[in-house]
Structure 1
Amino acid sequence: MTSHSFIDRRSFLVGAGAAGLAATSASAQDKYPTRPITLIVPFAAGGSTDIVARLVGQKMSELLGQNVVIENRSGAGGNVGSTAVARAAPDGYTLLLGTISTHALNPAILKTVTFDAVKDFTPISLLAIVPNVMVVNPSFPAKTVKEVLQVLKDNPGKYSYASSGVGTPLHLSGELFKSIGNVQMNHVPYRGAGPALNDVVAGAVPIMFDNLPSSAGFIRNGQLRAIGVTTRERVASFPDVPTIAEGGLTGYETYTWNALFGPANLPRPIVERINQAANQALKDETVKKRLNDVSADIVGSTPEQLGEHVKTELAKWGPIAKASGAVVE
């Protein structure tokens, strides 16, 4: 056999092998999903991100024909769970429910950056934008923003507020309130909104800035008092609750959002399959009603729209996060 014929044969075998792998890969993508999908929520159970994940994930399970298993992997303001997805195989079986924390705030405040919010993820769909709310334990001696400000000014450093962790939107909501209102409060960070909320309901910490979905039930049953929502406008599910800006802090506005991401280099057919299922789930009447009940503003987007949204949020919140001085280990 000549050298030339050996090279030709080897080239043919390599080419045939590559073609076979490509065909196998394409076939796997066409059949996706063939086993359960893990949707990592990078915060503790009970918070608004967890609520959105479970509502949308359950419907996606029906649409995809495979279980979407919610896994709460909290720590470092969402960094632990996000890093796990960034390092996962890009096969569509490990997804992330990302937030403003994981993709806009953490890049500015992480002491050690373990992922790139743009390069290490594949955007899939922006699911919902969620208002925050300032709540207090009913024993707290104030019912309005102005009354809260007065109590804090009369008692500098006496009161504390809880949040879902250092550098989270809820932490920065509190810092912005302190800055604009020129008041003092001690920050008590927790490993997620759920545990923080439990302590505020129990009266261990009097004040909290929370995502409205996770506080809604406690507000309705009287276990928490809503002082004001953090968005620019009032929300439909609590029309009697004023905005914090209305209450006296002009220009005050914060919010969060929930979006689906996969690891970088997720094949386009899989991205489109997940995007279709997620956006279809958001149109389900039961899902819509449940999300509307907790004041989540349903979006549903293309992967490209989510990608642009992340870049815009990074540019907006990065300077604010750095100015807060917050550092996540």
Structure 2
Amino acid sequence: MKRRALMGTTLALGLAAPNLAPTASAQDFPTRPVRLLVTWPPGGTTDILARQFQPRLAAALGQPVIVENRGGASGAIGAAEMARMNPDGHGFGMVTSTVISAALLTRQPYDPIRDLTPIINLARVANILAVHPSLPVHSVQDLIALAKARPGALTFGSPGIGSAVHISGEMFKLAAGVDMVHAPYRGGGPALADLVSGHIQLMFGNASSTLPFVRDGSLRGIAVTSAERAAYLPNLPTVAESGLPGFAIDEWYAVLGPAGMAPRAVERVNAAFNAIIAEPAERARILEMGAEVVGGTAAEFSSFMLAEVEKIGRVIRDARIRME
């Protein structure tokens, strides 16, 4: 545990300190095709976003953009390869928030702060606190009351230990002071299937996959975990406004490059992505997927990652989360 705590501190210091690694000149960036590495297999949200942006990014940069999938180990295989890329800017990749939680839970072949350069946070996806319709709760306060009356009797599912869905559930337990059992699955699909069939009682499910079940009545949506209400479920309150002030966590999709990535390249790629997600058609497509646009500067994303390291690290420590 001490090693993990020290690791979290090291990650934070690594991000805050100036990067002294040598950088390649990027005055004429890009001068050849650009490689966009996706750290998840084809077909998932990260891959869909990358391929959705591909033609627009190529037009903005004036060079072909080649999308490559390097999935496996919850994104760790792709992240490690990304860290080894040439820092001249012709290679960068798309990741999810597990790039942080994985490093805080296990020894990875990369350090997400020291070995990677923040470029832009593209989009965020709130988790939906959803329950099986048979559970007699219709609000966060109902759930808290039931969980306190029946400690250890309620089970919440997740795609696996350390996922944003799992972290959301552990945050809720800590904030509400309740005892619920975590049931990790090998993926979100199996967890959702068991929730819909009633084998587990609740889940802080990723909105992209959980939303259809809430809309068709297979599940009952109670709240969203984001700081603000989700545009695609405006009538569903946040956990924070439902009695747990300050509660906020999202899964996010972002672009990172290797350490020492040329500043001019970072600026150019950041500007290109910001222009793409500012287009109404692109924003609408992202919203349809159950996600919301973030955008902003590389510096803003860097600060956000620092805050995420602190928040997620605190949950892992306080909830005593371990990889099995």
Shared fold, TM over 0.5: yes
Taking structure 1 as the reference length, the TM-score comes to 0.76
One-letter amino acid of the counterpart of residue 32, structure 1:
R
- 2:131 pairs with 1:133: no
The answer on whether the counterparts of 2:29 and 2:89 sit within 8 Å (CA) in structure 1 is no
Say yes or no: does 1:307 pair with 2:302.
yes
RMSD over aligned Cα atoms: 3.3
Answer yes or no: is the 8 Å Cα contact 2:75–2:99 preserved in 1: yes
Which residue of 1 is the match for residue 102 of structure 2? Answer: 106
Matched, 1:189 2:164: no
Aligned to 1:40, which of 38, 48, 61?
38
1:107–1:318 CA contact under 8 A, matched in 2: no
2:93 matches 1:96: yes
Is the 8 Å Cα contact of residues 283 and 292 (structure 2) preserved in structure 1? no
1:40–1:85: 8 Å Cα contact kept in structure 2? no
Match of 2:154 in 1: 159
**Counterpart residue number, 2:164:** 169
Q: 1:249 to 1:88 in 2, by over 3 A?
A: same
Whole-angstrom CA distance in 2 between matches of 1:305 and 1:277: 16
Structure 1 CA distance, aligned partners of 2:134 and 2:65? 43
- Please report how far the alpha carbon of residue 288 of structure 1 lies from its aligned counterpart in structure 2 after TM superposition: 0.6
Distance 1:198 1:58 in 2: 35
Letter in 2 for 1:31: T
- Greater Cα radius of gyration, structure 1 or 2: 1
Structure 1 ranges of 4+ moved more than 6 A = 25-28
Match for 1:266 among 257, 261, 267? Answer: 261
Report the CA distance between 1:232 and its aligned residue: 3.2
Q: TM-score, normalised by structure 2?
A: 0.77
Q: Which residue of 1 aligns with 2:280?
A: 285
Residues 26 and 133 of structure 1: CA distance in aligned 2, closer, same or farther (over 3 Å): closer
Map Cα deviations across residues 58-78 of structure 1 (whole Å, 9 max, x no partner).
643554553543626142x44
**CA 1:130/1:251 → structure 2, altered by over 3 Å: closer, same or farther?**
same
- The size of the alignment, in residue pairs, is 300
Task: Spell out, residue by residue over 1:279-304, the C-alpha distance to the aligned partner (whole angstroms, 9 max, x if none).
Answer: 22212222111223455342222333
CA contact (8 A) 1:275 1:302 kept: yes
Structure-2 separation of matches of 1:255 and 1:145: 18
Aligned-residue sequence identity (percent) comes to 34
1:120: Cα distance to partner?
0.5
Contact 2:26 2:89 survives alignment (8 Å): no
